[in-house]
Structure 1
Amino acid sequence: MLQWSWRLIAPFVALLVIRPSIAEDVQEILAENANLSNETLLWGPYRPNLYFGVRPRIPKSLTTGLLWAKVDNFQDVQQSFRHTCEQNEGMAGYGWDEYDVRLGGRQTIRDAGNHIDITTEFVKIPGGDNGGSWGVRVKGTPRDDAPARLITTVMFHAGMEGFGSLGVQNEPDDLGIEGDVVLEGNSNELGDFTVRITTGPDTNETPPNAHPSSEKKPLDRTYVASTQVPEEHLWQSKQIMFSLMKGEIDSLIAEYGQDHAPPPWTVYTVPNKIEEGNFHVIQKVFHGEFEFDIMYSSASAGTPLTSEDLETAIGNATASFSDRFSEVLAPKSPFRDQRYDGFAKSMFSNLLGGIGYFHGDSVVDRSYAPEYDEDNEGFWEETAAARARQAGVRLEGPLELFSSIPSRPFFPRGFLWDEGFHLIPIAEWDMHVTLEIVRSWFNLMDDDGWIGREQILGAEARTKVPQEFTVQYPHYANPPTLFLILETLIDKINSQPTVLPHQHQYDSIRNVHLRNKDTAIDYLKDLYPLLKRHYFWFRKTQRGDIKSYDREAYSTKEGYRWRGRSERHVLTSGLDDYPRPQPPHPGELHTDLISWMGMMSRSMRRVAETIGETDDAQEYEGYESAIIRNIDDLHWDDQAQTYCDATIDDYEESVHVCHKGYVSIFPFLTGLLPPDSARLKATLDLISDPEELWSDHGIRSLSKKDELYGTDENYWRSPVWMNMNYLVVKALYDVATASAAKNPHKAQASTIYTKLRKNLVDTVFKEWERTGFAWEQYNPESGEGQRTQHFTGWTSLVVKIMNMPPLSKAVVEVNEG
């Protein structure tokens, strides 16, 4: 069996080998879906840092991408080339209008700076033994404000990493290629394949060119350039193409002089140079609107793809996505208005379309410096000095990760705590893809149980990260949000019918873990050793000190402190600049971390119960119970009527430091406050108070009354964040719908839930309409989007919020009465 095929289907095959007792129908399901997994997940636009780039989930293989520019004048051309997603390129919005990770979809790039809208319609076509084929239709449509003579150059590049070949099938021609351009290649994993770039329909026009250079550069041809590039530099596609163009520019200027230079659309071209190489550029020049196809055909699939095949597949993908979305994630009241439909589809599609495959080495500090224990007062200065030494910094790997990213222009890489939030809506759409991503993260774990919180794999990924943030530290944690997904899986297998209907294409593979409980149990059994190792790594490395300071608590062991804090930041908590005790102290205990540990313990208990590890389940239940008791004992402040971080004062006494905000409500956010909790009323009051956390645009990260509200970098000191607000909405819904017995807070929770849900959706929707983007955070006063644009990671949770059940007015009134 081929290497890549084995890696993708191994989880299915393992079930057949390990558990021969599985019913025959389950074996048939697994066998059927092993091949479907290869065909539907091998290829994708898994280079989300590019506006469009396709690659397979193979460490070293074929990589492709698209680049374009406006070339109608010399003044703007240098700044007009588009390739990697950037924040400040004059975009009026871009992203996937509809996208299914198994079928494909349509992306629209509204390039206001270049006066053109680019559409990429990408689809996968199953068939053969090597992961199927794929195609993309590229269209350009001038925008309303485009000049009459809008001239655009478009380049498609393809490179082959590792062992394999890639060449141009066409015969060399100094004037360029007439007709389609065909690349042919081969690798162990992909077998034989071709990539055809078509001329497109007759409506395509080329710009006029009366210059003598037109005899050497006829614009109705396609230019093809080949070159050999060191493998480690193949990702630098734009620089390679600029290098190829430079020689052509220099020769044209030398021949005709500056005063009689050819027009820019002739100058900014690659040379016609077809030869052996591992990198090939295919360039076209268009006047006005244009269209052409790129079709990858696996030889093992039989007949190569045609433009007619592509047309049919695009139509099928669109119809399938719309039908399935209306059943799985359609907005519910009060968001049934048609204007919300395209918004919801776009937000979710960009979350799925942000899934990428990454492969490369990681920079890790393995010095295990004693300063990293953070046991001394002034520890943050000692750890800063230890980090500056870089004594144990080294490259590790290579590693590979299948992950949905937070933001294509700014954070095109894997973030551990972001991922759990990303997967909440994805789990509704495709549980199998969700669990593939979860497995991919846990496969990164080292022998101690550590997973790097930020996965910056390879040189290309490191170009997007300031140098001071590239090094990962094996004592740094991150909120364990992936355990939320494991609980979602358990909830679903306990509530789903034994057999789910096949309503849509690939439902059998999407729901393979839900259609039969044995498949889910075997997945959890396979993952369980890694879950256990990671859980106990958390308990060991993020421990807090209770005994040394005579703290009164139910348990002397269940207290926790984030490692890796500086004077102003706790980056490892995910809440960065959220106010913490000052100055830092080794005796600190953090409310959010003990809450995460409570959630993690509950999740481990439920996993152990599900797979029959009863002794382990009892052990986790003990931890869970002790943590819940200690949250009150260590963190509840009677005077402030909220949960607070703890530290040690000048008299060596444990004291609370209360900054009301997200940290204060963490026991509620993580589901650790039951409906009849004595602390719940004060928590709900804090959330709903407009002088504290409530705003018309969502729950603020910090109270308006806090002296640090809106200060310094103001990252987590006032803005509204959608991931935290989703947890608030879900927790409110759980209280509002809990049994009336011992639930005196149903009315208040119902009212807050209904108002907050609408505020959040309207805030994100209005900014999406106004700016064309989702944003990293939102201003609590104005609702304006802030920081990173095109932040379609956890901000896409708005889709899940829209899909949550409404509480009817009658229900709210009954609760209030």
Structure 2
Amino acid sequence: MVRQRRSQVISDGNKADKSTNSSSSNGSSTFNGKPGKKANLFSYWKHFIVGTVLSIAVCFGYMGYLETRVNTPLDDKKVVTKSGLDVPDLFWGTYRPGTYFGLKTREPHSMVTGLMWYFPRQLRLGGDGIRHWCEQSDNLEKFGWLQHDAHNFGIQEIIDGPFRLLTSFVKRPGGFRGGEWTSRISVDFSTADDRMVDEEVSLIWYTALDEETMGYLEPTNSATKITGIRGKTPTLGEFTLKFTNTTGLLVHESFLSTTVPGIDLLKETVFASLRLSQDKSQKSEKIVLGGQLTSFIGNEKINPNLVAIQLTGKVPFAVDVVFESASSSNKQETLVGKTYTKALAWHKNRFDQKFEDVFGLKAKGYSEKHIAFAQAALSNMVGGIGYFYGASKVQSTYSEEPVNYWRAPLYTAVPSRSFFPRGFLWDEGFHGLLISEWDVDVELDIISHWFDLMNAEGWIPREQILGVEALAKVPAEFVVQKNTNANPPTFFLTLDHILDRFEDSLTDDRLAVLDRLYPRLQAWYAWFNSTQKGATAGSYRWRGRDADSQLELNPKTLTSGLDDYPRASHPDASERHVDLYCWMAVAARVMARLADLLAIDGRRYRQTAEYLFDNELLDSLHWSEYANVYADYGLHTDAVKLTRPTPLPRSQNRNLEMRRSVLKTPEHRLVDSTFGYVGLFPFLLHLVRPDSPKLGRILQDLRNPELLWTPFGLRSLSKSSPLYMRRNTEHDPPYWRGQIWINVNFLALRALHHYARVEGPYRVKAQSVYGELRENVVGNVMRRYFETGFVWEQYNDRTGEGSGCKPFTGWSALVVLMMGERY
């Protein structure tokens, strides 16, 4: 457009000059002609300069437009149409997965409430000993949900030294402010051997408002034996929190009413208020909360936004915390004491029945102990669903500095309450396989929230760090998300699973969700197809690898989700990644399925799926005739190692960091000396034809103990691979270089189950390997849970022991689907 406009201006100028030159009305042509040439030249340069300035302005304007696209929402209708009080069943919940026990509402600025506890004899300087956030360093013997239905109730067990805490809650609908609930905290000894006389535990129940929540909080003694809390917010209206000592003996209570600078500093604020007080009746000192602590800005008093109640009891004892809304006009019997116990038992029975209806483990012959394990794994998944609000920090290729994404909510499960209490894009697709089996509407709501985070480019940040509590748990180097970086589009797996399981029972409301979702799926697919395409037709390449890295043995591919899994040693634009190729094939197929369901023209997706599922294309790009494996392609050499540089003479630094040494010039080739999860993807995602001899070879390699097979599951990298269990830097231990990961083992079992049921020469072999692998994986995960109290992030390929972080009831909870054979 700029060029056309400039051309037109010059052309119009020339016409005007010709008219002047040809005129004879003002004298001779000689006289009129000479000034006309000067005017023509002046006019030309004037328009040239104006055009150039306009071009530069347009160019800068366009660059500015490109800069802003990274934090501009996609211009399409939102998928989420209801939240907050519009979905009363989900309004309150345990949506703070990073805390041991906390509740909040599904609204941007929710009141938060929850539990801290400590043992008076073990409280140390700095607040060590106070439990609040789920921390690996607390070294608890066990914590996690035993039962949780994602809606109305949950029961959690916490083993902390000699003590056992049971935290539970039950919600009850009523009024027009989101209903009411009661939580019970029971404290006992973890074993009979631990029982001690006069042992005390202090519970601290707090309620807080963030800096943007309007309203008030205050302690109250009105009509209560124990100090309670009352308050008001625009959404909740007026409410009270009352405390009842249902069993045992409370020996002390105190309270704190103060201002907290941020809800990420609740523990620090509580600890700073603790002081010693003389108990005259027992002639001893007690640790008490600070009471009413007034804060000021200058001379202006600040209203408190934190009220905490401390209750110290002799073990065993129990306390009920009752939240009541003033909006509930038809008051039922208060949900406390025996009434609460009865309601909790009703929910437990209902949960047991639904669990059996969905997974059928009792019918499969599992024992009560094994069913309890499976219930705990599922419950930790759905009990770990959080509701976050905030803005990611993102960076575009067109901007020099990171910028804030728009502020938005996210309803999502998390991989680990202790180590990863936030949303991860590729993890969430795996989570959805289990959540949708339990409650498809909850899963559709989760997917909807994720896709409302899509920007104008069709990109979704792969890690969601929303709100101060989430941000406080993330190292600074992982905060900024770059818009060139993808993550496996596993939500297509979830949607495929939903269509397989529920297509014939999709209600109008569910179809409406899919209809609103579809344009965003189109934008997401288009973003992948344009930004992650490879240099060779039909190929794909993960962006985000550091070609200049000198400290890594093999530059990580964080965007693939497989982190340090070995790829081509020298990243460049020629790379072809076989796992991404397979993800795109599945994505195209699911897009075509959804188009058919929604009566939309999906021919281009069907054609793309047929193109990518063509084994001749796949084999031409990724099959190694030499090694008989599927593999990546790129600039590669296996001859690399970490060495410590020799310091210069008289150098003060005698311990330089180890760097990569390349012992042989890399060449463009298939990376077929490495065999592991990546090479399995054509099998894992069902691209290999059932009659292909390559499937027979994969099944043979799968079962080979010298390659991937172990008594505990499939290891991530074969023992014959050059980087098997090698450190990637001197500081980074191996991660995806041999350990057993449950999400990929689930995909392997799903694939074996598929190939055992379709026509082909390898059905019997697939069925045999399936039975063995399922027994190995399920047996080991359960065994380690009973030994340690946790489901783990990964498992050692030599011993089967859990490793990585714990509890990890994100995709490791897929073991429940394996037990129920729900693929």
Q: What TM-score range do you get, normalising by the shorter chain?
A: 0.7 to 0.9
Is contact 1:204-1:286 (8 Å) kept?
A: yes
Shift of 1:126: 1.2
Corresponding residue number in structure 1 for 2:585 = 598
Cα offsets for 1:616-672 (capped at 9, x unmatched): x11011211222233221001111111010114779855444411000110111121
For the Cα contact (< 8 Å) 1:181–1:198, is it kept in 2? no
1:520 aligns with one of 510, 516, 522: 510
1:35 deviation in Å? Answer: 11
SS at 1:602 equivalent: helix
In the TM superposition, 1:120-519 aligns within 5 A as 120-144=167-191, 145-161=194-210, 162-168=212-218, 170=220, 179-201=225-247, 203-206=248-251, 219=252, 222-230=253-261, 233-245=262-274, 248-249=275-276, 263=284, 266-271=286-291, 276-302=303-329, 303=331, 305-307=334-336, 308-331=338-361, 336-368=366-398, 391-496=400-505, 514=506, 516=507, 518-519=508-509
Counterpart Cα distance in 2 of 1:691 and 1:602: 35
Distance 1:805 1:287, change over 3 A: closer
328-337 vs 54-63, which moves further: 328-337
2: distance between equivalents of 1:519 and 1:75? 54
Letter in 2 for 1:728: A
List gaps (5 residues or longer) in structure 2: 1-77, 295-301, 547-553, 637-664, 728-732
Question: Does the Cα contact within 8 Å between 1:332 and 1:804 map onto a contact in 2?
Answer: no
2:151 partner amino acid: R
Distance, in Å, in 2 between the alignment partners of 1:189 and 1:134 is 16
Provide the secondary structure at the position in 1 that maps to 2:185: strand
2:216 and 2:231 in contact (8 A); partners too: yes
Mapped partners of 1:393, 1:35: distance in 2:
31
**Residues 480-510 of structure 1: CA deviation (Å, up to 9, x unaligned):** 11111111222234345xxxxxxxxxxxxxx
Partner Cα distance (1:435, 1:367) in 2: 32
Does 1:705 find its partner at 2:720? yes
Is the Cα–Cα contact under 8 Å of residues 397 and 483 in structure 2 kept in the other structure? no
Deviations 1:523-556 (A, max 9, x none): 211111111101100111111101xxxxxxxxx2
Q: In structure 2, what is the Cα distance between the partners aligned to 1:205 and 1:195? A: 18
Show the counterpart of 1:626: 611
Residue type of the alignment partner of 1:167: L
**In structure 2, how many angstroms separate the alpha carbons of the residues matched to 1:342 and 1:170?**
41
* Identity level (%): 36
Q: What is the SS of the residue equivalent to 1:137?
A: strand
Deviations 1:12-44 (CA, angstroms, capped at 9, x unpaired): 979xxxxxxxxxxxxxxxxxxx99972221111
Between the aligned partners of 2:362 and 2:709, the Cα distance in structure 1 is: 24
Deviation for aligned residue 1:718: 0.5
- Candidates 686, 699, 708, aligned match of 1:693: 708
> Does residue 1:782 correspond to 2:811, yes or no?
no
Q: Which residue of 2 aligns with 1:544?
A: 534
Distance change >3 Å, CA 653–CA 70, structure 1 → 2: closer
Contact kept, 8 Å, 2:414 with 2:428, in 1: the verdict is yes
Cα distance in 2 for residues equivalent to 1:13 and 1:470: 29
Report the residue type matching 1:481 in the other structure: T
CA distance in 2, matches of 1:470, 1:440: 20
Q: 1:660 aligns with which of 667, 670, 675?
A: 675
Separation (CA, whole Å) in 2 of partners of 1:178 and 1:262: 27
Contact 1:125 1:313 in 2 (8 A): no
Aligned equivalents of 1:262, 1:458: Cα separation in 2:
45
2:268 partner SS: helix
Q: Is this contact kept in 2: 1:71–1:268, CA < 8 A?
A: no
Say whether the 8 Å CA contact 2:462–2:481 is kept in structure 1: yes
Letter in 1 for 2:121: D
Which runs of 5 or more residues in structure 1 are unaligned? 1-9, 15-33, 207-218, 370-390, 497-513, 547-555, 807-817
RMSD: 2.6
Aligned residue in 2 for 1:563? 543
For the structure 1 residues 273 and 456, does the alpha-carbon distance in structure 2 shift closer, same or farther, using more than 3 Å as the test? closer
Q: Could you tell me how far apart the structure 2 residues matched to 1:545 and 1:77 are?
A: 55
Aligned pair 1:86/2:135, yes or no? yes
Q: 1:569 to 1:333 in 2, by over 3 A?
A: farther
Does the C-alpha gap of structure 1 residues 651 and 695 become closer, same or farther in structure 2, counting only changes over 3 Å?
A: closer
Residue 458 of structure 2 aligns to a residue whose secondary structure is coil
Q: Shift of the alpha carbon at 1:475?
A: 0.9
Q: CA shift at 1:188, angstroms?
A: 2.3
SS of the equivalent of 1:725 reads helix
Q: Does 1:583 align with 2:570?
A: yes
Aligned partner of 2:639 in structure 1 is none
Is the Cα contact below 8 Å between 2:567 and 2:671 reproduced in 1?
Answer: no
Query: Post-superposition shift, 1:150?
Result: 1.4
Shift of 1:403: 0.6
The amino acid across from 2:255 in the alignment is V
Instruction: Write the letter of the residue equivalent to 2:545.
Output: R
TM-score normalised over the length of structure 2: 0.80
- Judged with a 3 Å threshold, the aligned counterparts in structure 2 of structure 1 residues 75 and 403 are, in CA distance, closer, same or farther, namely closer
Q: Note the 1:22-61 alignment, pairs <5 A.
A: 38-61=87-110
Question: Quick one: distance in 1 between partners of 2:558 and 2:666?
Answer: 29
Give the CA deviation at 1:101. 0.8
Partner Cα distance (1:672, 1:485) in 2? 17
**1:234 CA drift (Å):** 2.6
Q: Structure 1's 680 and 394: CA in aligned 2 closer, same or farther, altered over 3 A? A: same
Note the alpha carbon deviations across 1:242-272, whole angstroms, 9 max, x for none: 1222xx34xx59x99xxxx9856x1353336
> Aligned letter for 2:709?
W
**Structure 1 Cα separation of the partners of residues 414 and 80 of structure 2:** 26
**Rg (Cα) greater in structure:** 2
Query: In structure 1, what is the equivalent of residue 11 of structure 2?
Result: none
**Structure 1: distance between partners of 2:666 and 2:121:** 73
Alignment partner, residue 748 of structure 1: 765
Distance in 1 between the 2:125 and 2:80 partners? Answer: 53
* 2:640 corresponds to: none
8 A Cα contact 1:166 1:183, kept in partner:
no
Q: TM-score, normalised by structure 1?
A: 0.80
Q: Distance in 2 between matches of 1:329 and 1:240?
A: 45
Q: Give 3-state SS (helix, strand or coil) of 1:267's partner.
A: strand
Q: 1:719 & 1:126 partners in 2: Cα distance?
A: 46
Q: Contact between 1:413 and 1:455, CA under 8 Å: does it hold in 2?
A: yes
After TM superposition, give the deviation of residue 678 of structure 1 in Å.
3.4
In structure 1, C-alpha distance between the alignment counterparts of 2:79 and 2:611, rounded to whole Å: 36
Q: SS state of the match for residue 428, structure 1?
A: helix
Q: Tell me the SS of whatever aligns to 2:406.
A: strand
User: Matches of 1:691 and 1:332 in 2, distance apart?
Assistant: 36
Question: Amino acid of the residue matched to residue 481 of structure 2?
Answer: Q
Q: Deviations over 1:119-144 (max 9, x none)?
A: 11111111222221111111100233
CA distance in 1 between counterparts of 2:822 and 2:213 reads 52
Which one of the candidate residues 741, 752, 775 is aligned to 1:732?
752
Counterpart amino acid of residue 770 in structure 1: E
Task: Indicate yes or no: 2:638 matched with 1:645.
Answer: no
Residue 289 of structure 1 aligns to a residue whose secondary structure is strand
Aligned counterpart, 1:19 = none
- Verify the 8 A CA contact 2:713 2:777 in the aligned structure 1: yes
Structure 1 Cα separation of the partners of residues 803 and 610 of structure 2: 40
